[in-house]
Amino acid sequence: MGERKVRICVIDGQGGGIGSAVVKRIKEAFEERVEIIALGTNAIATSAMMKAKANRGASGESAIVWMAPKVDVIIGPISIIMPNAMMGEVTPKMVEAISSSPALKIFLPLTQERVHILGVRGQPLPHYLEELVTKVLKEAIDV
C-alpha cells in the first residue's frame, strides 16, 4: 500500500467562487499528490468546487461537522469561522467544528462581513492563492 495522501478540505459557501479558485490552484500545483475534499455550506458551492476538480464533495452543516476533524488541512475564507456569516449559511456548529479541528487551518482574508483584519494587505485572490500553494502549503505538507 502507498502512503496516504494529505487530505485538504476546502470550505466555501454562497456561489463557491473562492472555493473553486482554491481547488483549481491546488490541483494545478499538487495534481493528485493530495486529496481535495470540497465542503460547501450549500449544494451550489459544493458543485462549483467539484467542477474545479475536487476529489470528493459534500454539502451542509452535517458534512462540515463530520469531516472537519478528519482532514489534515482546512482552507477557506475567514468567514468560515464567523457564526452566521455568508448570509447565515455558516452555522455556529460549523464554526465550532472548524475551530476545534486539529487540522492546520489556512484562512483567506476575504469577507463580505463587516470585519476589517488589521495588518492584512488587501490583495486580489490570485495573489493569495499563489502564496497559499508556493509557501504555506508547500512548507506545511511537503509533497
> Cell for 50?
467539484
In the chain, the number of structural domains is 1
For 86-121, how does the pLDDT look when each residue is reduced to its tens digit (9 = 90+)?
999 999 999 999 999 999 999 999 877 788 888 888
In a domain, 141, yes or no: no
Helices (runs of H) and strands (runs of E) counted in the chain:
6, 5
Sign, CA dihedral 95-50-2-26, equals: negative
Check residue 52 and give left, alpha or beta (phi > 0: left; psi -120 to 50: alpha).
Answer: alpha
The answer to whether position 76 is within a domain reads: yes
> Looking at the domain assignment, is residue 96 inside a domain?
yes
Q: What is the pLDDT of residues 6-33, one digit of tens each?
A: 999 999 999 999 999 999 999 999 999 9
**Residue 114 near residue 48 (C-beta atoms within 8 A):** no
Q: Specify the pTM.
A: 0.93
pLDDT at 35: 97
pLDDT(122) > 90? no
Average pLDDT over residues 36-58: 98
Question: Is residue 1 domain-resident?
Answer: no
CATH number at residue 43: 3.40.50
Amino acid at 88: G
* 85: containing domain: 6-135
Choice between 47 and 115, residue whose per-residue pLDDT is larger = 47
